[in-house]
């Protein structure tokens, strides 16, 4: 599964307005729910918050991958958000998060989820992270995700 199959171009937001992680979660969950009306906003938000309460999803300086299992779906859906000003993510290094990869997966999709996480990690360990922060157009990001294996 390529990253562009998970992160639909309509779910790429290059101008997150939130300055705290809880609000960023709402922005991204709202986008997912708008595109996938069978998914319940409150349930998704609760799933993401519950997982976040167990462990902060900031993985490296400037990047977070909040995620959770949504019962009853058999796919992986992602929303990608970029904050130019940064999000207070309550990290141990106190640095803001600028790129958020939110992932909602079905309970039977753990293997696919792990492949997606591996691809994201490879992506952010390259120069692509700087590209994401400077990108002006969601289509440009979507095209890059389609090429990245």
Q: What is the pLDDT of residues 59-70, one digit of tens each?
A: 887 899 999 999
pLDDT value at position 101?
95
CATH of the domain at 25: 3.40.930.10
For residue 86, the Cα-to-chain-centroid distance in whole angstroms is 15
- Please write down the HEC assignment for all residues of 58-107: EEECCEECCEEECCCCCCEEEEEEEEEEEEECCCCCCCCEEEEEEEEECC
Percent of the chain with pLDDT over 70: 95
pLDDT value at position 86?
93
| Closest-CA residue to 63 (of 121, 131, 17) | 121
Domain span holding position 103: 3-147
pLDDT value at position 148?
65
- What residues of the chain score a pLDDT lower than 50? none
Confidence (pTM): 0.92
For the chain, what is the domain count?
Answer: 1
pLDDT value at position 149?
57
């Amino acid at each position: 599964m390529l990253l562009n199959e998970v992160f639909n171009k309509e779910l790429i937001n290059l101008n997150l307005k939130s300055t705290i992680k809880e609000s960023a979660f709402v922005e991204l969950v709202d986008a997912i729910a708008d595109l996938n009306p069978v998914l319940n906003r409150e349930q998704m938000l609760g799933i993401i918050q519950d997982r976040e309460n167990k462990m902060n999803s900031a993985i490296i300086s400037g990047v977070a991958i909040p995620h959770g299992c949504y019962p009853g779906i058999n796919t992986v859906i992602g929303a990608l958000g970029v904050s130019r000003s940064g999000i207070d993510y309550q990290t141990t290094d106190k640095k803001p998060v600028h790129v958020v990869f939110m992932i909602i997966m079905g309970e039977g999709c753990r293997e696919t989820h792990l492949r997606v996480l591996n691809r994201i990690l490879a992506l952010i360990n390259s120069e692509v992270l700087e590209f994401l922060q400077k990108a002006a157009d969601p289509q440009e990001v979507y095209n890059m995700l389609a090429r990245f294996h």
